[in-house]
Chain A
Amino acid sequence: MSLVEVLGESFEGLRARALAPVDVAVVDSGVDATHPDLAGRVVRQFHVDWTEGGTEVLERQVPECSDTFGHGTAVASIIARMAPNARIWDIRVLGGNNSGKGEILVAGFRYAIDQQIRVVNLSLASTAKFASQLAEICEKAYRANILVVAAKRNVPVADNGFPAELSTCVGVDSGNFGTNLKVKFTGGSPIEFMAHGEDIEVAVPGGGHRRQTGTSLATPTVTGLCALLLGAYPALRPFEIKAVLKAWSI
């Protein structure tokens, strides 16, 4: 496989082809694996527990609804729709009384990398407090040929959010492009790409759908596109995937 050969393709063309399965971790609030949109698409489910001694990753039965917020189900449904070859790993790090605890995010993210899951979707952002730990995990991911796709904050306050700001990630912002088969290279920002993230139809835990807007929804769009690419060209490395995204940018 040469990069020139890949660049001759398009996302539309890839979707019409038979693709190899690609494992994708959704590190989020859990996933309703019983939702019709996700039937048969979620292969493993985990949640991270917080204890006095630290964190613990526990496996759950598949399929079940592990999502208490609806955020992870929304994200997973976009990936499932974008990439028919994506096999989703649900790793819940948000939810319950410890929602949003940075240590839990770090533990869940690290677990996804340790499991060698090919693509990791993080539609969430941590504060700079955890930046060094997240940077270390992202570096490990990069060296292991694992692609990390992470969301910029919807409205940045002090920073764009971590790990999205890190160069070892594909950082994603949201825009309105009218199509989910295109990305835009932002040209210099630490957040290198934008994708369609406005008024997207997503699955809701328990059944049904709603419409939602934000970087959390643009990120799985890019994750889905990357899963398509990797389904056709499994040997692609993270920097090559970024090069393809840039080359196909609008």
Chain B
Amino acid sequence: MSTSQALMASYFAIAEKSPEQQVLDLLLALGTQVVGADNGALLALKTNADGSQSLVFLLSSGDTSLHGKEVPLGQGITGMAAATREVQIGSPTYGGVHVAGADAPKYVMAAPMLMGDELIGVITAATFKEGKHFGRDDALLFMRIASVAALVIRQRRQLDAVEALQAAPDTDAPLREEERLERAVITSVGRLVRAAPDKLPEIAALVLAVEKVCGTASR
């Protein structure tokens, strides 16, 4: 398994030889082996300045030349898995990554890595064997592996957020009036929810109604 450490750190804040890195390596190796693939890869979602999106290779089992290469969203099996947020299986059509001919995979499976509704990347499995293809059971397994990989990345992000909060300088500066009121409102709503959890729908409706009156409800 080979990783572009710089890209992995840049996209997922995952350091070399960290537990997260090792779990991702293990997941990809396991998934690739169980479905009988020759190659596996992990790609991160990248949003470009013009708003277009692509997937960048960060991790692959063997082929380091893939690192940093990009697949536009919607292109090929991998890009389609990202665009549809569904496992996609089939013969590859996007020629921008592999050298055509004998070096190109014959069949590919790609599963999106999702954090709730948010797409963060895709994992892929590829075979170079003629006649080999992936089926329904392979898709089920690979999607679960993608879910666990997404969970590992999510936990890393959450830990980073907590660590950043803990490292923030403690300031004794007095709060502005707006900040004081905001905290008071949040504390009050939190207290209500804890005191009467069965009333949560009513409390939520009330907050939404207030938002509506203030014209701040965006959706």
Taking beta carbons and an 8 Å cutoff, which residues of A are in contact with B? 29, 68-71, 94-95, 97, 99-100, 124-125, 127, 153-155, 157, 174-176, 198-199, 202, 204, 210-214, 216
Instruction: Please state if A213 and B135 are interface contacts (CB–CB under 8 Å).
Output: yes
Say how far A37's CB is from chain B's closest CB, in angstroms: 15
Q: Note all chain A residues with C-beta closer than 8 A to B75.
A: 69
Please determine whether B73 and A99 come into contact, CB atoms closer than 8 angstroms: yes
The stretch among B15-23, B32-40, B87-95 that forms the contact with chain A is B87-95
Residues on the B chain within 8 Å of A70, using CB? 80, 93
B117:A127 contact, CB within 8 angstroms = yes
Cβ B139 vs Cβ A214 within 8 A? yes
State in angstroms the CA–CA spacing of A157 and B136 once bound together.
14
Complex CA distance for A175 and B135, rounded to whole angstroms: 9
B85 at the interface (CB under 8 A from A): yes
Given contacts A68-B74, A95-B74, A198-B133, A212 and B87 within 8 Å (CB-CB):
no
In the assembled complex, the Cα of A212 lies from the Cα of B139 at a distance in Å of: 13
The smallest C-beta distance from B184 to any residue of chain A, in angstroms, reads 32
Residue of B53, B73, B111, B136 near A198 (CB, 8 A) is B136
Question: Inside 8 A of A198's CB, which chain B residues have their CB?
Answer: 133, 135-136
Given the complex of chains A and B, what is the CA–CA distance between A69 and B83 in angstroms?
A: 9
Tell me which residues across on chain B come within 8 A of A212, comparing CB atoms.
88-91
CA distance A42 to B57 in the complex (A): 37
Secondary structure of the A contact surface, majority rule: loop
A216 to B86, CA, bound (A): 10
A213 touches B80 (CB 8 A): no
- Cα–Cα, bound, A73→B205 (Å): 44
A64 to chain B, nearest CB (A): 18
Q: Which residues of B contact A174 (CB under 8 A)?
A: 136
Measured between beta carbons, the chain B residues less than 8 angstroms from A204 are 93
Residue in B83, B114, B140, B143 whose beta carbon sits within 8 Å of that of A99 in the complex: B83
Given contact pairs A69-B80, A71-B80, A211 touches B51 in the complex (Cβ within 8 A) = no
In whole Å, how far is B19's beta carbon from the nearest beta carbon of chain A?
A: 26
CA distance A216 to B77 in the complex (A): 13
Complex CA gap A154/B92 in Å reads: 18
Query: Are A211 and B83 in contact, with the CB atoms below 8 A?
Result: no
Contact A154 B79 (CB under 8 A): no
User: Which residue of chain A has the shortest Cβ distance to B117 in the bound complex?
Assistant: A127
Q: Does B52 touch A at the CB level, under 8 Å?
A: yes
- Complex: how many Å from CA A100 to CA B74? 10
In the complex formed, the residue of B with least CB distance to A214 is B89
Docked-complex contact A155 and B143, CB < 8 angstroms: yes
Selected contact of A213 from candidates B79, B84, B133, CB within 8 Å: B133
Contact partner, B88, options A100, A176, A214, Cβ 8 Å: A214
A69 contacts B79, C-beta separation under 8 Å: yes
B135-191: which have CB < 8 Å to A? 135-136, 139-140, 143-144, 147
Kindly list 14 other residue pairs between chains A and B, CB separation below 8 angstroms, not including A69-B74, A157-B114, A157-B147: A69-B79, A95-B74, A97-B51, A100-B84, A100-B85, A154-B136, A155-B111, A155-B139, A155-B144, A176-B136, A211-B107, A211-B133, A213-B89, A214-B87
Whole-angstrom CA separation of A155 from B140 in the bound complex: 6
A94 touches B84 (CB 8 A): yes
B136 contacts which chain A residues (CB < 8 A)? 154, 174-176, 198, 213
In the bound complex, what is the Cα–Cα distance between A73 and B134 (angstroms)? Answer: 21
Identity of the chain A residue whose Cβ is nearest the Cβ of B133 in the assembled complex: A199
- Please report the C-alpha to C-alpha distance between residue A157 and residue B144 in the assembled complex, in whole angstroms: 9
Q: State A99–B53 Cα separation when bound (angstroms).
A: 10
Closest 7 CB pairs of A and B: A212-B90, A155-B143, A213-B89, A69-B74, A210-B91, A154-B87, A211-B91
Q: Give chain A residues whose Cβ lies under 8 Å from the Cβ of B73.
A: 99
Contacting residue for B86 out of A68, A155, A202, CB 8 A: A155
Smallest distance from the beta carbon of B126 to chain A beta carbons, Å? 14
